[in-house]
Amino acid sequence: MWRSARPTDTGKRAEQGACRFLENNKLKIIAKNYHCRFGEIDVIARSPEHLVFVEVRYRNNPHFGSAAETVNTAKQRRIILTAHHYLSSAGGRQYNELPCRFDVIEASPGNSGELHFNWLPHAFQE
């Protein structure tokens, strides 16, 4: 199922699954696919203590490295700039007092087509 899908479809399914995973872990989804001129943030969520900016990475085969390893310094910089933009926007100003956190969720296929998630809280920082 996952291997035959187009990359954009696979990415969307991984993001949807990651949202369910976060909700099951007591986070509230605030926004999905927030984008501005600096970049895009896959998921913005709220935990009791933090505003969480989440990058979801799908990797079909970890042979060339983990999904989290693809979130390089340039990608982190774009996510941080986009997070600043979100916090200055009308929708994000209400969260300015919350500490922010940058997480990565790795998604990978299981043997029977289900997704497995590896959540890396505080994967990088500003």
> What are the distances in angstroms from CA 93 to CA 44, 51, 83, 89, 122?
13, 12, 11, 6, 22
Residue 95 identity: Y
- Please say if the pLDDT value at position 27 is more than 90: yes
Domains, the chain, ordered by start: 7-124 (3.40.1350.10)
pLDDT band, residue 23 (cuts 50/70/90): very high
72-82 per-position pLDDT tens digit: 999 999 999 99
pLDDT (0 to 100) of residue 1: 44
Higher pLDDT among residues 21 and 7, named by residue: 21
pLDDT tens by residue, 76-106: 999 999 999 999 999 899 999 999 999 999 9
Distance CA 66, CA 53 (A): 19
pLDDT band at 2 (very low <50, low <70, confident <90, very high): very low
What would the mean pLDDT of 52-70 be, rounded to a whole number? 84
How, if at all, do strands 39-46 and 28-36 pair? antiparallel
DSSP per-residue codes, 53-95: EEEEEE-S-GGG--SGGGS-HHHHHHHHHHHHHHHHSTTTGGG
Q: Is the per-residue pLDDT at 42 higher than 50? A: yes
